[in-house]
Structure 1
Amino acid sequence: MSALPGGAAEAVPLRAVDVASTRDRLLAAARSVVEEHGYGGASVAAISVAAGVANGTLYRHFGSKAELFVEVFRDVCGREVDAMRAAVEQVGQDGRPDPVERVLAPLDVFARRALQNRTLAWALLAEPVDALVDEVRLEYRRTYRDLLVGLLADAVDAGALPPQDAGLTAAALVGAVGEALVGPVSPRAEPASGTDDSLLSGLRDVCRRATGAPPRGPDRLPQGDGDRR
């Protein structure tokens, strides 16, 4: 609503409300279908059925299926970034934050959430997608990297890590975690030789060594926010 002279409110036209509501339903439906079937299984027909609209309705709100997927990708990746940032904030709630743990915590949470929703993780990480969607995929990889750059720089400043090129280390960590997860979350994944916890523990150890952090005893894996929904 917008204010009119005298304090009265101007009602939002019902047509605008209907358009926004339908668009939101399409986005929610597309996200749900992608979570269950990946991008390859997210047909216009499947999304329309899930949203309760006719097939042609999608194209009245989005220029193409790819444009819809761009919005879905941004929404899902935004949630991942929020979960990673929340994991950082949870470190040191006792008032003694560990600078190295602040680097590892968001990587732990990202990997754990990926393993808890493999279909969605495959769509985010490696499933073949339209070029428009792939651009957003790269954009969010840079966002993940930038988050780690700041945390690595803080750890170096605190003397917890040796001097290093934080940008290079961050990019390497993002790449290593993503590549390590592609196999396990792939629809063609071979039976795992170990548990998810063993994979997460090993990945955490790799990331710790990559930062140059001094060795320590067995790490306790934080649970973080494992719920993607």
Structure 2
Amino acid sequence: MTDSAVTARQLPRGRHGLPRETVVAAQRDRILLAMAEAMTENGYVGTPVAAVIKRAGVSRETFYEQFRSKEDCFEAAYERAAELMLTGILAATGEEFEDETHAHRIERLLTAYLDALSAEPAYARLFLVEVYAVGTEAIARRSQLQETFVAMVADILGADTDEQFFACQMLVAALSSMVTARIAVGDLDGLRALREPLLALIRRSGELFGLPFGD
């Protein structure tokens, strides 16, 4: 569970003297997490606003003060899921990251990605699975974020040619498909187990993706 979600659920009941912006932010966190968790049980189509409201512990009025519709709430939850994933990746790729070998850099990147997904399974399912039930705009956003990840992988592996960049796109597409399948059935152990065979594949691939993996 995220720190913001924990904070949201720990707000005292009744008169507490907290600033309104703190209360509103906490309510928003609860609603977004409730949306993700409710869809884990019933999917996007089978999750009415009433189920989100009940799980979040807020009123219908509070929900509609922050979101125009269920789709609007989903979009906000999707951005939260993307934020959590990117935060985890960026935390693992600090200043010293650039000084490491390509082998260590790709290992840290893939580990951070898999860790971010397994740490937030409800948001991961929203991000990878339920997005396809929402519509073309949500799918386009997912594709945009996937291309951002492709660019990170290509940069780490030194993909200089069109062929090498395409190989990185194929690598990320295959990874996306495999993690989506495991998140869809709640197989977090299987998700984490992808790390070693993926790294082994990259090691065996030589210059297919760019620079030799041992550089």
* Shared fold (TM-score, shorter chain, > 0.5): yes
Q: Distance in 2 between matches of 1:188 and 1:23?
A: 29
After TM superposition, give the deviation of residue 116 of structure 1 in Å.
Answer: 4.5
Deviation (angstroms), 1:57: 3.6
Is 2:25 aligned against 1:55? no
Give, as a single letter, the amino acid of the residue that structure 2 aligns with 1:125: L
Q: Does 1:26 align with 2:28?
A: yes
Instruction: State the distance in 2 between where 1:96 and 1:54 align.
Output: 51
SS in 2 for 1:211: coil
Map residues 1-229 of structure 1 onto 2, 5 A cutoff. 18=20, 21-22=23-24, 25-35=27-37, 37-38=39-40, 39-40=43-44, 42-89=47-94, 97-127=100-130, 128-131=132-135, 132-153=137-158, 164-165=161-162, 167-187=165-185, 198-208=193-203, 209=205, 211=209, 214=212
TM-score by length of 1: 0.64
Letter in 2 for 1:129: A
| 8 Å CA contact retained: 1:66, 1:130 | yes
Question: Do the aligned partners of residues 51 and 195 (structure 1) sit closer, same or farther apart at CA in structure 2, a change above 3 Å counting?
Answer: closer
Distance 1:20 1:129 in 2: 32
Deviations 1:61-118 (A, max 9, x none): 22221111111111121121121122222765xx951123213321222123324544
- Distance, in Å, in 2 between the alignment partners of 1:23 and 1:102 is 35
AA aligned opposite 2:111: D
Q: How many residues align?
A: 187
Separation of aligned partners in 1, 2:82 and 2:69: 20
Separation in 2 of the partners of 1:188 and 1:147? Answer: 27
Shift of residue 130 of structure 1?
A: 1.0
Equivalent residue, structure 2, for 1:11: none
* 2:202–2:213 CA contact under 8 A, matched in 1: no
Gaps of 5+ in 1: 1-16, 157-162, 217-229
**Partner SS, residue 51 of structure 2:** helix
Corresponding position of 1:9: none
The amino acid of 2:36's aligned partner reads V
- Does the CA-based 8 Å contact 2:167-2:209 persist in structure 1? yes
Verify the 8 A CA contact 1:34 1:123 in the aligned structure 2. yes
SS in 1 for 2:100: coil
Q: Which has the higher helix share?
A: 2
- Matches of 2:213 and 2:157, distance apart in 1: 17
Q: Please tell me whether the aligned partners of residues 26 and 51 of structure 1 are also in contact (alpha carbons under 8 angstroms).
A: no
